[in-house]
Structure formats: structure tokens, C-alpha cells
């Protein structure tokens, strides 16, 4: 990895953890007035409510109203000691602050071991059944887990199609039950590979209810044959290596109000066109469009400064071919506002 360019404004994005936390707080502040008048049909949407603070999965002592619909999802809480198996921000799988509050969920979203294709799904009852023919707006935040304090790194893959599935029936799963077959369908999903290990990616969308659905499920509901993956690191670089993908989940929302949940379409800065980063994932040359003159910094997955400088031109190229493979964040100061955009360096 090349040494960081030491141009001015080296503290523009502070450090990775602080920047992303401030960005989340600012976003919540902007959205709060709109969300206050819209009902979220998801109980305990941030997994904050529980009977006690103990290491737990989505069974006994887990988040209230939620349970496992497949596998053994994890319940991460900031109240647990630093470095605890399911503590925050450091745990056995990742180092990550929750998107909001002090808790989040963790689910296995890809696994390949011979013919075994395990997944983990979480489920909660909606506060009221959906109405057939009504449009529902949905969202949640997701983060690709990477790192953690396990003796050997476990999670080296990112995958696509993380999303929401609505059902008429409760589908509780307990240890010893067979793993359900993937339905190869989701009402809301993130079609790209969800590979941002630093920030929280917004998964959002809307659909018209064709049934009076009473439950929401979150997970990856597609077979391996229909799933795309990305290696965070060379499988030969660590031992042992497991073909697993793992995703953190927070801030779940379902609403009848178009403004009730976060939506991917945002208002541009001073009416400006949204920036475009391509290709993503990238190998050698990252192109940034529509941000001429912006001050720029690149942070790695641990929040360390890798490069900084200025975007010059409407279609600007950053040479990243000799950087370490993995996830990065591009921070831009443009028209007096900070932006954060994610990209991944692939083999």
C-alpha cells in the first residue's frame, strides 16, 4: 500500500469511526421530523429492547419481538464488555459501531461447504397486517462484517441480494430443525454485492402487497447458484479460511408513508448531479465523475488515511492498482458538505 499523501486538511474526515458516526447522526437529525409522523410497522426496529444484557442469539434473552427463522443469528450489544463474543464495537467477527443506538443484529448471508448452503434469517411480527393493494416502503441498514478478534479471520466474502421477505406465517427455527430451502425470492433486496465494511449501506425499496402479510424477515434468500460473491482477501493468505459471508443489520423500517422510511433517492448538493464511481469493484483505475474541485481522502477498512488530494476534472481517475485489496471509503468535501462513498478493490 502506498504511503498517504500528506496534503492539507488531513483531518477532513477525522478518522473512519468518528466520521461515519457523525454522518449517521447528521442523517438521523435530518430524517427525524419526517419519521416522527409516520408509523414504523416493525417492532423493536433497532434491536434495542431486550430483557437483559447477556451474550445471546435470537432466542432466549435476544431482542424482544425478534427470533430466528433460520440458523443462529447473533445479537450484538454495546453493553457487553469490549471484545466480548457479541460485544460492540469489537467482537469475534468485526469491529463496527451500530448504525444507531447500542445494538444490531448479525446474520450469515453466504456459506458454501460442499452441498451445504446455510443461511441465517431473522423474523418479527408486523404491528398490523399489510393491506392488499397498498404500497409499502421499506428499508434497513446493512454492513459487511470483516475482521474482529477471533484467533483466525473467519469472514472473507461479501455477497449480493441481502433483503426483506414478507410472510403470512410465523417461521420459528430452533437448533436441530432442518435448514429451509431458499425461496429464491425477496420483496426488497440490495442487488449489488454488499461489500462496504466501514459504513452502513442503505437497503431500501417499495412494493405493492399481494397478500395480508403479517411478518417481516431479513436475510439472503437465494441459492448459491444465484448469488454473486467477492473475496475481501486471497483465500491462501490466511489459515484456516472459510467460505462465509456475514452481514450486520440495523434500523429496520416498513411504512405506508413514502417518507416513513429512508429512501435511496436523495437530494443532490445544491442541485448538483450525484457523483458516479466506476467500476466498483475496481482493480486498477477508479473513475469519479461530477465532483470537479472536491477535496478528497481515501480511508481503508480500519479508518486509516491512505490517500488525500483534490479531484481535478469532471471525469477524474485515481490509480489504485498497487493498493492492498479490500474495502475503502472515499471522503469528499464538495460545496461545503462532506460526502462518503464506498468502493472495493478486487483481485
Tell me, what's the pLDDT at 47? 96
Q: What is the distance between the alpha carbons of residues 185 and 219, in angstroms, rounded to a whole number? A: 11
Q: Does the pLDDT value for residue 33 go beyond 50?
A: no
Using a CB cutoff of 8 Å and minimum separation of 24, what contacts does 110-117 make? 110/157, 110/159, 110/220, 110/224, 110/227, 110/229, 110/243, 110/244, 110/245, 111/243, 111/244, 111/245, 112/224, 112/243, 113/243, 117/182, 117/223, 117/224
By mean pLDDT, which of 52-66, 137-151, 265-279, 281-295 is the weakest? 265-279
Tell me, what's the pLDDT at 16? 44
Q: Does the pLDDT value for residue 312 go beyond 60?
A: yes
Q: Which residues pair with 140 in a beta bridge?
A: 203
Tell me, what's the pLDDT at 265? 46
Tell me, what's the pLDDT at 231? 76
Tell me, what's the pLDDT at 219? 98
Q: If you average pLDDT over residues 177-183, what whole number do you get?
A: 91
Percentage of the chain exceeding pLDDT 70:
80
Please, which pLDDT band fits residue 29 given cuts at 50, 70 and 90? Answer: very low
Q: What is the distance between the alpha carbons of residues 244 and 193, in angstroms, rounded to a whole number? A: 14
Q: If you average pLDDT over residues 295-316, what whole number do you get?
A: 88
Tell me, what's the pLDDT at 240? 56
- pLDDT, tens digit (0-9, with 9 covering 90-100), for 215-237: 999 999 999 989 998 877 665 65
Domain 266-345 has CATH 2.60.40.3080: yes
Highest mean pLDDT among 59-63, 259-263, 343-347: 259-263
Ramachandran quadrant class, 13 (left: phi over 0; alpha: psi -120 to 50; beta: rest): alpha
Distances 26 to 58, 142, 167 between C-alpha atoms, Å: 30, 18, 34
More confident: 23 or 104? 104
Grid coordinates belonging to 95: 469491529
Q: Are 46 and 100 in contact (CB under 8 A)?
A: yes
Please, which pLDDT band fits residue 56 given cuts at 50, 70 and 90? Answer: confident
Q: Does the pLDDT value for residue 145 go beyond 50?
A: yes
Tell me, what's the pLDDT at 147? 77
More confident: 315 or 34? 315
CB under 8 Å to 160, separation ≥6 — which residues?
Answer: 190, 191, 192, 193, 194, 227, 228, 229
- pLDDT, tens digit (0-9, with 9 covering 90-100), for 258-284: 889 998 743 333 334 555 677 878 888
Tell me, what's the pLDDT at 279? 80
Tell me, what's the pLDDT at 94? 87
More confident: 109 or 195? 109
CATH of 39-255, one of 2.60.120.260, 3.20.20.105, 3.30.390.30, 2.40.30.10: 2.60.120.260
Q: Does the pLDDT value for residue 118 go beyond 70?
A: yes
Q: If you average pLDDT over residues 99-116, what whole number do you get?
A: 87
By mean pLDDT, which of 77-86, 243-252, 260-269 is the weakest? 260-269
More confident: 327 or 170? 170
Tell me, what's the pLDDT at 126? 98
Phi, psi of 19 (to 5 degrees): -60, -45
Residue ranges, CATH 2.60.40.3080, the chain: 266-345
Q: If you average pLDDT over residues 250-257, what whole number do you get?
A: 96
CA–CA–CA angle 241, 110, 45 (5° rounding): 125
Summary mean pLDDT of the chain: 82
Tell me, what's the pLDDT at 11? 54
Tell me, what's the pLDDT at 270? 37
Q: Does the pLDDT value for residue 143 go beyond 90?
A: yes
- pLDDT, tens digit (0-9, with 9 covering 90-100), for 1-28: 444 444 444 455 544 444 444 433 333 3
pTM of the model: 0.67
Residue ranges, CATH 2.60.120.260, the chain: 39-255
Amino acid at each position: 500500500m502506498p504511503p498517504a499523501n500528506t496534503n492539507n486538511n488531513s483531518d477532513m474526515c477525522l478518522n473512519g469511526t468518528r466520521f461515519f458516526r457523525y454522518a449517521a447522526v447528521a442523517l438521523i437529525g435530518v430524517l427525524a421530523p419526517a419519521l416522527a409522523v409516520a408509523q414504523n410497522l416493525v417492532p423493536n426496529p433497532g434491536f434495542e429492547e431486550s430483557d437483559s444484557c447477556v451474550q445471546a442469539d435470537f432466542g432466549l434473552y435476544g431482542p424482544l419481538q425478534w427470533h430466528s427463522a433460520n440458523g443462529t443469528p447473533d445479537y450484538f450489544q454495546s453493553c457487553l464488555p469490549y471484545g466480548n463474543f457479541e460485544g460492540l464495537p469489537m467482537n469475534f467477527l468485526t469491529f463496527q459501531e451500530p448504525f444507531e443506538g447500542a445494538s444490531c443484529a448479525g446474520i450469515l448471508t453466504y456459506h458454501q461447504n460442499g452441498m451445504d448452503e446455510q443461511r441465517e434469517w431473522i423474523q418479527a411480527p408486523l404491528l398490523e397486517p399489510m393491506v392488499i393493494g397498498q404500497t409499502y416502503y421499506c428499508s434497513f441498514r446493512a454492513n459487511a462484517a470483516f475482521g474482529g478478534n477471533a484467533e483466525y479471520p473467519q469472514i472473507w466474502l461479501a455477497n449480493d441480494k441481502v433483503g426483506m421477505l414478507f410472510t403470512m406465517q410465523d417461521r420459528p427455527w430452533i437448533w436441530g430443525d432442518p435448514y429451509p430451502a431458499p425461496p429464491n425470492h425477496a420483496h426488497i433486496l440490495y442487488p449489488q454485492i454488499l461489500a462496504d465494511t466501514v459504513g452502513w449501506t442503505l437497503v431500501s425499496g417499495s412494493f405493492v402487497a399481494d397478500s395480508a402479510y403479517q411478518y417481516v424477515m431479513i436475510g439472503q434468500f437465494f441459492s448459491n447458484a444465484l448469488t454473486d460473491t467477492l473475496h475481501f482477501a486471497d483465500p491462501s493468505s490466511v489459515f484456516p479460511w472459510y467460505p462465509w459471508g456475514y452481514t450486520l443489520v440495523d434500523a429496520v423500517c416498513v411504512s405506508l408513508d413514502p417518507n416513513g422510511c429512508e429512501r435511496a433517492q436523495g437530494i443532490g448538493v445544491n442541485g448538483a448531479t450525484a457523483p458516479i464511481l466506476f467500476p466498483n469493484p475496481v482493480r486498477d483505475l477508479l473513475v469519479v465523475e461530477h465532483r470537479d474541485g472536491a477535496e478528497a481522502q481515501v480511508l481503508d477498512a480500519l479508518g486509516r488515511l491512505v490517500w488525500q488530494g483534490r479531484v481535478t476534472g469532471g471525469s477524474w481517475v485515481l490509480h489504485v492498482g498497487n493498493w492492498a485489496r479490500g474495502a475503502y471509503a472515499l471522503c469528499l468535501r464538495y460545496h461545503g458538505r462532506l460526502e462518503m462513498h464506498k468502493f472495493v478493490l478486487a483481485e
